[in-house]
């Protein structure tokens, strides 16, 4: 095995490309965890289809992946729109022939609009549930029939440790991400007889642009609550996703792997 560093902490194995010949679709691939997942998968030899709402990060991620592999297919869309999602996956199939791996990364809390539940509004609940749960169901629905028929496929959903720990001000997000966990388990049972695995990765606090909205004191407090006393790096989530998307995890399905430095222990 010959490992070489790439960017963002990604390590590329020049001698072992376990995902060569496979196509992976990553939602929300332009930034943070989604970008790291895409880079990890590309480093393992996969061909990538990148789904992202914002054009600038989509193009940046595309350029980064081009240094690792052949040009990915970048598609700009809103993953909560049924019409746009159906069109994007049709384009992905036309480009790649088939989809072997789906990483459902798109998701978002209410962020600056987050409040305690008694002050919250149905409008915000709908937004959070749409982007953090409905988009996962919608994108999965595009690939499940072909994976089921083919008798092979990998679906990896990005949840959150908040689904298990809860957090004041994030009731809607915790509900959405626990929905992702429940969906993962149910779909895994459905597809297990057909050779398709479905798993979830549930990160804790990750060093992404979301933290830019927080004060230094708040970030320090966040770190102090983590037994490892640091935030996760995006590529540390990406490597777990890579494991679940690859052949070494063929007998693992329906699981939710928490990656949070020891905050939540099952």
Annotated active-site positions, please? Answer: 173
> How many CB atoms are closer than 10 A to CB 67?
11
The residues pairing with 3 across neighbouring beta strands, listed in sequence order, are 13
Q: What are the residues whose beta carbons fall under 8 Å from the beta carbon of 22, sequence distance 6 or more?
A: 45, 46, 47, 100, 101
Whole-angstrom distance, CA of residue 246 vs CA of residue 262: 25
Whole-angstrom distance, CA of residue 77 vs CA of residue 208: 22
Q: What are the residues whose beta carbons fall under 8 Å from the beta carbon of 40, sequence distance 6 or more?
A: 10, 235, 238, 239, 241, 242
Tell me whether residue 220 is exposed, middle or buried, using C-beta atoms within 10 angstroms of its C-beta: 0 to 12, 13 to 18, 19 or more. Answer: exposed
């Amino acid at each position: 095995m010959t490992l070489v560093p790439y960017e963002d902490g990604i390590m590329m194995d020049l001698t072992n490309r376990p995902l060569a010949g496979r196509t992976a679709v990553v939602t929300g691939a332009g930034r943070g965890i989604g970008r790291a997942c895409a880079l990890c998968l590309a480093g393992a030899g996969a061909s990538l289809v990148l789904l992202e709402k914002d054009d600038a990060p989509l193009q940046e991620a595309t350029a980064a992946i081009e240094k690792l592999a052949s040009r990915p297919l970048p598609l700009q869309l809103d993953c909560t729109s049924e019409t746009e999602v159906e069109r994007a996956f049709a384009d992905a199939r036309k480009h790649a022939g088939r989809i072997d791996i789906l990483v459902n990364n798109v998701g978002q809390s209410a962020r600056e609009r987050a409040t305690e539940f008694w002050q919250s509004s149905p409008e915000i609940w709908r937004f959070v549930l749409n982007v953090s749960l409905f988009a996962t169901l919608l994108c999965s629905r595009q690939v499940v029939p072909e994976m089921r028929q083919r008798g092979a496929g990998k679906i990896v959903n990005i949840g959150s440790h908040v689904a298990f720990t809860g957090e004041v001000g994030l009731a809607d997000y915790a509900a959405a991400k626990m929905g992702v966990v429940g969906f993962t388990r149910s779909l895994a049972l459905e597809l297990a007889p057909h050779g398709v695995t479905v798993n979830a990765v549930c990160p804790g606090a990750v060093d992404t642009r979301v933290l830019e909205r927080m004060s230094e004191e708040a970030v320090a407090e966040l770190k102090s609550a983590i037994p490892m006393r640091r935030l996760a790096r995006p590529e540390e989530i990406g490597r777990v996703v890579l494991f679940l998307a690859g052949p070494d995890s063929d007998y693992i399905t329906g699981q939710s792997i928490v990656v949070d430095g020891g905050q939540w222990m099952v």
